[in-house]
Amino acid sequence: MMITTKRGGTSSALLLILLLFIAVPLGANTLIRPIPKHIDADMEKVKLGKKLFFDPILSKDGTISCATCHNLQEGGDDGARFSSGIEGKKGSINSPTVYNSTFNFRQFWNGRARDLKEQVKGPVKNPVEMAHSLEEVAEKLKKEKEYATAFGAIYSDGVTPENISDAIAEFEKALITPDSPFDRYLRGEKDAITPEAKKGYQLFVSKGCIICHHGVNIGGNFFNKFGIFHDANSSDMGRYEITGREEDKYVFKVPSLRNIEQTAPYMHDGRAKTLRQAVELMSQYQLGRDMLPEEIDAIVAFLRSLTAPIPPLAK
Ligand code: HEC
Ligand code: HEC
């Protein structure tokens, strides 16, 4: 899929229509897949990674942990437009959820980290997040008996920056949320979602949302331009900031819609306060169409059916 270019509205529109023809007959079952009930993970690493995820020792002044901005009880994000890091410093981009991030093809809105392991360095180093370095964190952890022992039992070289990332990434890999009503519906439980959610799902497919939001994460598997039919007036340039290529301006990773009800506000800059606003905005900016209020309501009902129970690992 490549609706990512700076090409004019007409060719984008043509491409969208073309993709719709492909998408609709395929039917949704092939385009959205349920989250697997289990994922293979090294449980010793997961345990260690979980401890690290909740430990503010990762930040320079010992006040901020990963969980500060990724609250596992509330959707895996922080519910704020922009996150506050060390000394109350504010970032300029919305915190995404860590749940199901293992299914994303890249990490971060602009995809600058290839995988979860590479991602960990980002927040630890970021001056407005944890303002630290994994090297310094490793030195601190070596002095903590419990950590030294736990690392020693898993890794032959004990506490190292590499192993810290590895353990945290393994924990995140295990943070999946199977069994949303919609997944149960896909697996054959016909009454797992309401008739309105079913209608919303049909609209999600027939109106074209599915063109960009599909796969196991209903997103997270390719990049696309934010603002195809209308200029999104975004101050963040997206992938352009990494590649410097004109065609990457305002191109972001299409976000996952899993548990989306729990991660307001929406968009990379948190501009949409409610799910309704987010759907209206998508409809206008990405599809160039206005939807009826009842259509939006139905899509919102569908999106709410994507909320899964909090997995035992997060508790
Ligand atoms: C001060 C708040 C803050 C802290 C602390 C923080 N994060 Fe984040 N996290 C964010 C923000 C904001 C983004 C989005 C940044 C971007 O895309 O440029 C993000 C992005 C991510 C992503 C990418 C998800 C995706 O869909 O692209 C993962 C995974 C993640 N963080 C995990 C972690 C881990 C692990 C830690 C601890 C080592 C951590 N975060 C600490 C705010 C924070
Ligand atoms: C052409 C691709 C495309 C289409 C079609 C599309 N989206 Fe999106 N969607 C995106 C991108 C890209 C973003 C991220 C925008 C940004 O930069 O903040 C996004 C963001 C979202 C978000 C916010 C996610 C979050 O975590 O903040 C929601 C909700 C959403 N889309 C729902 C929909 C719905 C519903 C439809 C159909 C009406 C739709 N999308 C159609 C590409 C698309």
**Mean pLDDT to the nearest integer, 164-188:** 98
Distance from the alpha carbon of residue 125 to the mean position of ligand 2, in angstroms: 29
Question: Is 3 part of a structural domain of the chain?
Answer: no
pLDDT at residue 5 in the model:
40
* One domain for residues 140 and 206: no
Nearest CA to ligand 1 atom 11: 95
pLDDT at residue 3 in the model:
44
Ligand 2 pocket check for 3: Cβ under 6 Å: yes
Last residue of a domain, one of 120, 142, 174: 174
Question: Is 26 part of a structural domain of the chain?
Answer: yes
Question: Is 1 part of a structural domain of the chain?
Answer: no
Question: Is 4 part of a structural domain of the chain?
Answer: no
Residue with tokens 């609706």: 3
**Mean pLDDT to the nearest integer, 39-68:** 97
How many CA within 13 A on the CB side of residue 44? 9
Atom of ligand 2 nearest to the CA of 270: 27
Question: Is 152 part of a structural domain of the chain?
Answer: yes
Atom of ligand 2 nearest to the CA of 267: 18
* One domain for residues 89 and 135: yes
* One domain for residues 235 and 263: yes
Q: Which of 55, 66, 92, 124 to mutate to test the pocket of ligand 1 (most atoms within 8 A of CB)?
A: 66
Q: Report the share of the chain in percent with pLDDT over 70.
A: 91
Total count of domains within the chain:
2
* pLDDT of 22 over the 90 cut: no
| CA distance between the termini of the chain | 38
Q: Which of 101, 213, 221, 300 to mutate to test the pocket of ligand 2 (most atoms within 8 A of CB)?
A: 213
Last residue of a domain, one of 123, 143, 174: 174
* One domain for residues 155 and 50: yes
Task: Look up the CATH number of the domain holding residue 78.
Answer: 1.10.760.10
Nearest ligand (C-alpha, residue 253) = 2
* One domain for residues 138 and 196: no
Question: Is 297 part of a structural domain of the chain?
Answer: yes
CB-based burial of residue 298 (10 Å sphere; 0-12 exposed, 13-18 middle, 19+ buried)? buried
Residue with tokens 């340039």: 237
Residue with tokens 């509330």: 74
Measure the CA–CA gap between 315 and 304, rounded to whole angstroms. 22
In this prediction, residue 120 has a pLDDT band, given cuts at 50, 70 and 90, of very high
Active site residue 129: yes
* One domain for residues 151 and 203: no
The CA-atom distances, in angstroms, between 60 and each of 32, 100, 170, 250 are 41, 28, 23, 32
* One domain for residues 202 and 113: no
* pLDDT of 2 over the 50 cut: no
In this prediction, residue 311 has a pLDDT band, given cuts at 50, 70 and 90, of very high
Mean pLDDT over each residue of the chain, to the nearest integer? 92
**Mean pLDDT to the nearest integer, 86-99:** 94
Domain of residue 71 covers 43-174
Distance from the alpha carbon of residue 254 to the mean position of ligand 2, in angstroms: 6
Distance from the alpha carbon of residue 4 to the mean position of ligand 2, in angstroms: 13
Atom of ligand 1 nearest to the CA of 65: 5
Nearest ligand (C-alpha, residue 283) = 2
* pLDDT of 141 over the 90 cut: yes
Atom of ligand 2 nearest to the CA of 299: 35
Read off the pTM: 0.93
* One domain for residues 130 and 231: no
* One domain for residues 93 and 207: no
Question: Is 38 part of a structural domain of the chain?
Answer: no
Last residue of a domain, one of 121, 144, 174: 174
* One domain for residues 285 and 221: yes
Question: Is 271 part of a structural domain of the chain?
Answer: yes
* One domain for residues 114 and 149: yes
pLDDT at residue 23 in the model:
52
* One domain for residues 184 and 302: yes
The CA-atom distances, in angstroms, between 11 and each of 4, 5, 17, 295 are 11, 10, 10, 26
